[in-house]
Amino acid sequence: MSFWEYLASNYLEVIGYTFEHAVLVLQGLALAVLVGVPLAVLTYRTGLGRAAAVNSASLIMTIPSYALFGLLIPLLGLGTAPAIVALTLYGLLPVVRNAIVGLREVDPAVTESARGVGMDRRRLLLSIELPLAWPVVLAGVRVSAQLLLGIAAISAAVNGPGLGNLILSGLSSAGTPFAVYLALEGILGIIVLAVVFDAAIALLTRLTTTRGARA
Amino acid sequence: MPENGRTDTGPTAEPMIRLEQLTKRYPGQDRPAVDRLDLDVPPGEIVVLLGPSGCGKTTTMKLINRLIEPTSGTILLDGEDVTRADPDALRRRIGYAIQQTGLFPHRSVADNVATVPRMLGWDRKRVAGRVDELLTLVGLDPDTYRGRLPRQLSGGQQQRVGVARALGADPEVMLMDEPFGAIDPLTRETLQNEFLRIQSELGKTIVFVTHDIDEAVKMGDRIAIFNAGSGIEQYDTPERILTEPATPFVSEFVGSGAAIKRLTLSRVGDVPVPDWPSIGQDTHRDERAAAVRAGAREFLPLLDADRRPLGWVPADASGDVLDRGLPIVTRIGPGDSLFAALDAMLAANSSAVVVVDDAGAYRGVLDLETILSTVHTDAGPAVPRPGTVATPGTV
């Protein structure tokens, strides 16, 4: 039985897992943005704040995923919940770092003159700083998405959803040709998703960046 | 002297901006950046803060709208203590324009200009009307420029938009930090002249920061010269600063050529043009040379029917020269400075230059002697104390 014959026999299962995988990554990514961008906004103005935010996010990246699940299972049990939280934490670093860089790259003359004509902090942030930093923020989201698509496979280890389940069942039948086919199916699904996510975020960047902020 | 819409204000007039004992101290620095500064800015005048780099002139300007918060001292705006007022509300009452323009790059020209009116909650129609009015005022056609992005404009146009944005909600006070500093000399001159024209219409109270003495003399009704220690060495009219520098620092800062710089302050329209006979075109050509020889001048201007000068007729004229005269290289109008008149003389290797009025009709001939005597009367006998509010010198 060749790989393609095998794929033809279980493609519905593969498509189902791919869909789950996409939803899982989207949830983790969305939470990473919802936590990461405000974190960047709160910390980008001071050196100490920036260091604290970026270093914490980097530290999380160094925690092995199995160890992280070990920490999360007592709190959240098995299944989707610990998988989403883990992805959120892993996705923070590119989002936080890019948001800080983007906000700091706004020309000081622009923010000074905005304050000089009487713009308050909130308005300055919402109408000047974030729109100008937006392309850089989205570039961080793009990196984060690619990263999470790979990491999400591990969530099968805690009974989470996604393509990791194909890879995991391949591992459990190691030694048979199906083990390789299952792993290949998992990888193929992730590659397809990576291309789709990349294109989607590129499109989002074009649609949501005001023409003057485009580099 | 209604030059550039400048107004005379006696020492009793209520200042629009009054700084009292204003001090800015940064932690970890022994010397304050601004030290117990007192300054009165009279309403409707351009006060230039002038000094070397690092003298605290920009810091002083930013203390006025509290972009930098003072450590101690008082800021009075139109008699009202604003030292502890809401800074955002304060800044919406004060126009702000800087050298780098600081235009919002992601917003159209119209949106940039509309910034303050929108924050003040004006309705859409009123904002749109104001934007068009301001763009027209700064010399940009609203239909052409309204929708453009800042980066689609030249440096000079960006600066115009910056000034229009600062004028957004018609503030009484404007702060300008080297607004024409990053622009090529030719455009800068145009913008300065246009700004003085706008100011003569609007009569704003303006604090203008520069390190360029020539710009200070041109723009300022008064100049405050800062020393390196952020103290004010002299606060006076440009005329007084040039003729009577209060301290050695001021004379050094003003530099050589103070007398020449003073010539830029006087308009040809403000000085008496000596009587100089002319020849009408209706005179018979054979009588023209005789007319010149009969007078005390070596040359007489030949005028057409509308009294516009056609050329110079010398005493020894003959042939074609009798018909049209020798060509006149430069005509000086009432708006030109004495400096331009002198420059024209030197360029034409002549000791006299033809002066015309706004319509181009002959007004007389300005000669070197008149310029010299103007310079000497200008030096004037009165020596004001530094810091006194003097009226602009008469010319």
Write out the DSSP string of B350-379: -SEEEEE-TTS-EEEEEEHHHHHHHHHHHT
Looking at residue B12, its pLDDT comes to: 52
Instruction: Say whether A107 and B91 touch across the interface (CB within 8 A).
Output: no
pLDDT digits (tens, 9 = 90+) for B41-61: 999 999 999 988 888 899 999
Instruction: Say whether B92 and A118 touch across the interface (CB within 8 A).
Output: yes
Q: Does B166 touch chain A (CB under 8 A)?
A: yes
**Which residue type is seen at A186?**
G
pLDDT digits (tens, 9 = 90+) for B110-135: 999 999 999 999 999 999 999 999 99
Which of the residues B106, B148, B177 would you substitute to probe the A interface, choosing the one with the greatest number of A C-beta atoms within 10 Å? B106
Instruction: Say whether B105 and A212 touch across the interface (CB within 8 A).
Output: yes
**Would you say the ipTM is above 0.85?**
no
pLDDT (mean) for A12-35 = 95
pLDDT category, B183, cuts 50, 70, 90? Answer: confident
Please report residues of B whose CB lies closer than 8 A to that of A210: 106-107
**Cβ contacts of B307 within 8 Å, gap of 6 or more:** B361, B362
CA A87 from chain centre, in angstroms, equals 7
pLDDT category, A215, cuts 50, 70, 90? Answer: low
pLDDT digits (tens, 9 = 90+) for A54-107: 999 999 999 998 899 889 999 998 989 999 999 999 999 999 999 999 999 999
Give the number of C-alpha atoms closer than 13 A to the C-alpha of residue B37, restricted to the C-beta side.
Answer: 38
pLDDT (mean) for A16-38 = 96
Class of domain B269-376: alpha beta
CA B113, B119, B123, B124 dihedral sign is positive
Of all residues in chain B, the percent with pLDDT exceeding 90 is 46
**Lowest pLDDT segment from A9-23, A165-179, B210-224, B283-297:** B283-297
pLDDT category, B8, cuts 50, 70, 90? Answer: very low
pLDDT category, A199, cuts 50, 70, 90? Answer: very high
Q: Does B89 touch chain A (CB under 8 A)?
A: yes
Q: Does B109 touch chain A (CB under 8 A)?
A: no
Q: Which one of B91, B107, B151 has the shortest CB-CB distance to A117?
A: B91
Tell me the nearest-neighbour CA distance from A34 into chain B, angstroms: 24
How far is B98 from B103, CA to CA, in rounded Å? 10
In angstroms and rounded to an integer, the radius of gyration of the C-alpha atoms of chain B is 25
In chain B, where does DSSP find H-type helix? 57-64, 87-92, 109-113, 115-119, 124-137, 142-145, 155-166, 185-202, 213-219, 238-243, 248-254, 258-263, 285-294, 320-324, 338-348, 368-378
Q: How far apart are the first and last CA of chain A?
A: 51
- The torsion angles phi and psi of B225, rounded to 5 degrees, stand at -95, 120
pLDDT (mean) for B85-96 = 93
From A101, A155, A151, A163, select the one nearest A129 (Cα to Cα): A101
Task: Find residue B352's DSSP bridge partners.
Answer: B367
pLDDT (mean) for B254-278 = 79
Q: Is pLDDT at A171 greater than 90 in this prediction?
A: no
pLDDT category, B104, cuts 50, 70, 90? Answer: very high
**Cβ contacts of B302 within 8 Å, gap of 6 or more:** B278, B279, B280, B281, B288, B309, B310, B311, B312, B313, B324, B325
- The domains of chain B are located at 3-93+172-265, 269-376
Exposed, middle or buried: residue A174 (CB in 10 Å: 0-12, 13-18, 19+)? exposed
pLDDT digits (tens, 9 = 90+) for B351-391: 888 888 888 888 888 888 888 877 776 544 434 334 434 34
Q: Scanning every residue of chain A, which has its alpha carbon at the shortest distance from the alpha carbon of B151?
A: A212
Could you give the dihedral angle defined by the CA atoms of residues A180, A181, A182 and A184, in that order, rounded to the nearest 10 degrees?
90
The DSSP code sequence of B267-302 is: BGGGSPPPP---EETTS-HHHHHHHHHHSS-SEEEE
**Which residue type is seen at B213?**
I
Instruction: Say whether B65 and A116 touch across the interface (CB within 8 A).
Output: yes
pLDDT digits (tens, 9 = 90+) for B188-247: 888 998 999 999 999 999 999 999 898 999 899 999 999 887 789 999 999 889 888 899
Task: Find residue A62's DSSP bridge partners.
Answer: none
Looking at residue A205, its pLDDT comes to: 92
Q: Which one of B97, B106, B166 has the shortest CB-CB distance to A131?
A: B106
Q: Is B212 helix (H, G, I), strand (E, B) or coil?
A: coil
Average pLDDT, chain B: 85
What is the phi-psi region of residue A3: left when phi exceeds 0, alpha when psi lies from -120 to 50, beta otherwise? alpha
pLDDT (mean) for B71-80 = 93
Q: Which one of A120, A128, A210 has the shortest CB-CB distance to B88?
A: A120
- The torsion angles phi and psi of A125, rounded to 5 degrees, stand at -70, -50
Please report residues of A whose CB lies closer than 8 A to that of B106: 131-132, 210-213
The DSSP code sequence of A31-80 is: HHHHHHHHHHHHHTTSHHHHHHHHHHHHHHHHS-HHHHHHHHHHHH-SSH
Instruction: List Cα–Cα distances, A12 to A18, A26, A186, in angstroms.
Output: 10, 21, 13
B3-93+172-265 CATH choice from 3.40.50.12160, 1.10.150.120, 3.40.50.300, 3.30.300.30: 3.40.50.300
Looking at residue A97, its pLDDT comes to: 96
Looking at residue B292, its pLDDT comes to: 81
pLDDT category, A211, cuts 50, 70, 90? Answer: confident
Strands of the sheet with B352-356, listed across from one edge: B331-332, B352-356, B362-367
More confident residue, B314 or A41: A41
CATH T-level assignment (fold) for domain A3-213: MetI-like fold (1.10.3720)
Q: Does B165 touch chain A (CB under 8 A)?
A: yes
Instruction: Say whether A117 and B95 touch across the interface (CB within 8 A).
Output: yes
- According to DSSP, residue B317 is labeled -
Tell me the nearest-neighbour CA distance from B225 into chain A, angstroms: 24
